[in-house]
Chains A and B, each alone.
Chain A
Amino acid sequence: MDEFNDSDISSLLNQLAGSSPDTMMAHKVVLGKVRRVRQRRVATVSAAAFVMVVSGAVAMVQKSNGRDGSSNIAVPLSPNDSQPVKVATTLGLSVTTTTIDGAISIDPIATDPPVGTPSTQPSSNSTSPSNTSVVITTPPTNTQAPTNSQGPSITTTPSNNPAPTTSRPPASTPVTTPVTTPPVTKAPIVTSPPVTSPPSTQAPITQPPLTLPPTTVPDVKTWTCGGGSVKYRVTSNGLVLVETTSAPGFTISENKVRADEIVMKFVSNSKNDERKSALKIKRSGLVSTSCDDEGFDRRSDSEDSESNDNNEESADD
């Protein structure tokens, strides 16, 4: 590098460069600039973090608001650790049919209204003035309809006929359950339907009315002869034997039960007594009944008996 060394040029340029600048002052200026840049960065990062936190909080609030609108009903994990769900059902019964048209209201917070207090919710399509409201407390996993709330015009009561069981329908489509279904239907676990009212008001949710199709309740009829009586029911599938009762001192000697015919024969328990009784119920389009009593002194009253003269002859005997 000696070829480029030139003291004259070096001194000339150093003279042109001037004296040494104030390093301390320049250092303070540099530190001040660094501090300002760092403060700007911190402010930017803080603002970004604040915006993120605020936006996250707003999103959480919106999310929680949306959840409040649809989850007022807590889904119980087990029946033991949850309060029972109270279902208020309004039933309106007609004369010959059992029509359940009522609004099911579920109180999600499970307050305790007085049991038996009639609900004041009017049925939307109920025309019967004898609407009754029943408040039923059921376990949350097994929602059952109330036991038969019967209208005044039903004359025969199906004693062992299961009550029409209503399971909770989906919110959009009403579910109709025929009466001939099994007596108890396990309702699905109560899911949380969308609730439009704020939770603080604790207003019951009005769901679309539950309407069952008009169904005929088969009556239990009794046919009595001298040796005993038979309770039967006429269904669409045929004759159904409900109960057989022997008269005192008689036993059933023959028992034939089919869908189209029920034949029940009774004989006396004592050997000296030769009284016999044959009871027939036949169904071929119409239901016909007959009673053949031997050795009895009176006829049994029947609804539409076709008893022959053997009874009187036996009575005469």
Chain B
Amino acid sequence: MDDFTQHSLSAQAADVTTLFNLHYARLVRSLTVICGNSEEAADAVQEAFVKAHLKWGKISTYDDPVGWIRRVAINKVRDGHRSRVRRDRAVERMGHQTALTSEQPAIDEVAELLATLPKQQRAAAAMFYVEQLSVIEIAEALEVSEGAVKFHLHQARQKLRAHIEAREEM
């Protein structure tokens, strides 16, 4: 391997490493809220960064490489969730009592409440409140319009606010 290739690979690794150091924790925490499992979120984000490493020559030309990584990680979580739901339904059709592996671990009541929220509301709330993303960035990540993001955020906020007020009254 010549010096130029070595240098370009090291520069690429430096770029990806920089992105990783800056955004990995935020992405994992946001996806933990979305999927309810920190390990699953960490695996999804790591897989997204592996793909970014392998395709960095193309991804580096994008306007928002982190947005691409986030979208890949969210798709990974969704795929995992879909496969789990499909597997649980198949087991149910066979008449067995399933362990409900697709259900989110009930950390507390907030987690249970989040698990009852639709996927888009949960993802929008996680990105907005945990990752501190703007409505536009959330719309790009979820590939929906800004109005849809605002609607999902409004619905999620109402439900969470109601739960918080109920807890304060208790």
Contacts and interface: CB of A to CB of B under 8 A. Distances in A.
Contacts of A4: 128, 150, 153-154, 157
Contacts of A8: 161, 164
A14 B130 contact: yes
B28 interface: yes
Interface stretch (B42-50, B59-67, B71-79, B81-89): B42-50
A11 to B, nearest CB: 9
Interface in A20-66: 20-21, 23, 26-27, 29-31, 33-34, 37-38
A15 B161 CA distance: 16
Contacts of B46: 26, 29-30, 33
Contacts, number: 92
B21 A20 contact: no
Contacts of A23: 20-21, 24-25
A12 B33 CA distance: 11
A8 B33 CA distance: 15
Tell me whether chain A's interface is mostly helix, strand or loop, or mixed.
helix
B50 A33 contact: yes
B27 to A, nearest CB: 10
B126 A13 contact: yes
A34 B25 CA distance: 19
A248 interface: no
B164 A12 contact: yes
Contacts of B45: 26
* Most chain A beta-carbon neighbours within 10 Å: one of B24, B29, B38, B129: B129
- Size range of the chain A interface in the assembly: 20 to 34
B135 interface: yes
A21 B28 contact: yes
Interface residues of B, number: 39
Contact of A13 (B129, B134, B150): B129
Interface in B3-17: 13, 17
A13 B125 contact: yes
Contact of B33 (A16, A20, A34, A37): A16
A30 B135 contact: no
Contacts of A77: none
B111 interface: yes
A33 B50 CA distance: 7
A27 B135 contact: no
B134 A17 contact: no
B100 interface: no
A38 B51 CA distance: 11
Given A17-B32, A29-B46, A33-B46, A10 B17 contact: no
Contacts of B47: 33
Contacts of B130: 10, 13-14, 17
A1 interface: yes
Contacts of A116: none
A198 interface: no
Contact of B30 (A10, A17, A27, A37): A17
Given A16-B108, A38-B54, 16 more contacts: A4-B154, A6-B157, A6-B160, A8-B161, A13-B33, A13-B125, A13-B126, A14-B130, A15-B110, A20-B28, A20-B29, A26-B28, A30-B49, A30-B53, A31-B13, A37-B54
